[in-house]
Amino acid sequence: MATFGTLSDRLTETFRNLRTKGKLTPADVDGTVREIRRALLDADVALPVVKEFTAKVRERALSDEVNKALNPAQQVVQIVNEELIAILGGQQRRLQFAKNPPTVIMLAGLQGSGKTTFAGKLAKMLESDGHTPMLVAADLQRPNAVNQLQVVAERAGAAIYAPEPGNGVGDPVKVARDGVEAARRQQYDTVIIDTAGRLGVDAELMKQAADIRRAVDPDEVLFVIDAMIGQDAVNTAKAFQEGVDFTGVVLSKLDGDARGGAALSVASITGRPIIFASTGENLDDLEPFHPDRMASRILDLGDILTLIEQAQQAFDEAEALKVAEKLATETFTLEDFLDQMQQFKKMGSMKKMLSMLPGTGQMKQQIDNFDEREIDRTEAIIRSMTPSERRNPKILNGSRRLRIARGCGMTVTDVNQLVQRFDQAAKMMKTVARGGVPNIPGMGPVGGKPGASSKRGKQQKAKGSRSGNPAKRAAENAGAVAEAPAVQGSGFGLGGGKPGGQPSEADLAAVQKLLGGR
């Protein structure tokens, strides 16, 4: 997640330096702990949390469990991971549902923290899990807050109770109480109450929120906090805990680029678990919060479990089996490719998925430079083809490719490149589907016969001169190089018609044709 990007980079660099040491001395541990402390403080993690965290890491890093370990550096990374999980709450905590519906969920937080948007995200998530939520517009202070919730509810496909226009008109306590009764009568099993926020913590805000809580007796009170507000996050959380109290925390705007480390302090300072993490502006950008997975992301260890869960939600198992059969029988077409792209898009942002892979923190710049619109361009080209062209790209002659390019607003070169990439990918996937080894252009079959290259190296080495006279040895070796056959092929798969592997004119013509005549 972008919010913890800087912290992740700092910690990863610290551990990279640690791994160069075979055995850790107390000085090594103190230096590592000092770097961790600086990284946490720079990321706005609260000072009490930093002190407690680094003290525990230092104590454990100097213990026998590290000294006797085969790989002390990895052991220290494991210790930091476990302590990060602890300050993030330890274990995942799910929403608590009432035995007798409706379950009442009250939202609290400062103005601008993202409560209204979160209400829509939560409603959509609950609906996908088989619940029937109703939103209640109890924020009657902020201008157009009621209208905004109505728009969000419509986008989420959820019911809404909004009897008052808002903008300072109406009694929020009465609206909240009547909303719960309306949900009970109409048999909605969950009520989400959106309450008013303020630009800062004040007595009036706390009194109104406390009155609503007493009136509806909610099963959950979720404190929505902006992950980018810095050290003030802790003070705000404490104020709400004393004034209203809450049962769980929601971190919003985790996709931002601020330091965001103060959000790590909330669970530790308040003793209340983080239940949800909001990771974007779309209504689907909401994740249950897993302390262990978040710690792994911060330490650049990846989050494969979340990636798998998203894939399981997006991909149809029966459809996946059909694709596997088509790959094995050589009937995989551009239509199938388009269907697969559609399923990938359901998983959300490609950048977000890539960031969940272990070690991708080291490729941050490449991931940031990845253009999400490339998928849309590819989709546009395929959709501009006729069904017969998608099923059999071999019929795509020059005039057809020109028509496709004009139809999607792209160039003929773009169409040529897509067809070429598809052909190569299809061949590679067919080989893998049959249990074979893919032949990557310019590299040959991956995993060739072991020892083959080393044997050739030994043979070539044996041909070299062993003369004790340096001048004579150099002359004989030069003669051996002149007599050696030209190297066939280069790193780009081009032939070696000329000594030194230089491409021939035929090679260049073939490459030009491959790239669409450029």
Phi/psi at 256 (5° precision): -75, 175
Task: Specify which residues 11 forms β-bridges with.
Answer: none
Query: Could you tell me which of 397, 350, 407 has the C-alpha nearest to residue 373?
Result: 350
Taking residue 144's Cβ as centre, other Cβ atoms within 10 Å add up to 12
Classify residue 100 as exposed, middle or buried by CB count within 10 Å of its CB (0-12, 13-18, 19+): exposed
Query: d(Cα 95, Cα 101) in Å, to the nearest integer?
Result: 14
Query: Could you tell me which of 467, 77, 462, 31 has the C-alpha nearest to residue 296?
Result: 77
Question: Could you tell me the end-to-end alpha-carbon distance of the chain, in angstroms, rounded to an integer?
Answer: 40
Query: d(Cα 123, Cα 125) in Å, to the nearest integer?
Result: 5
Binding-site residues, please?
Answer: 109-116, 194-198, 252-255
Is there a contact between 213 and 244 (Cβ–Cβ < 8 Å)? yes
Given CA atoms 157, 163, 167, 168 in this order, what sign does their dihedral have?
Answer: negative
Task: Specify which residues 107 forms β-bridges with.
Answer: 194, 222
Query: d(Cα 485, Cα 488) in Å, to the nearest integer?
Result: 9
Phi-psi region at 110: left, alpha or beta (left = phi > 0; alpha = psi -120 to 50): beta
Is there a contact between 136 and 179 (Cβ–Cβ < 8 Å)? yes
Phi/psi at 190 (5° precision): -140, 135
Indicate the SS3 state at residue 489: coil
Taking residue 316's Cβ as centre, other Cβ atoms within 10 Å add up to 12
**Residue 425 CA to chain centroid, in angstroms?**
24
Binding-site residues for GTP, please?
Answer: 109-116, 194-198, 252-255
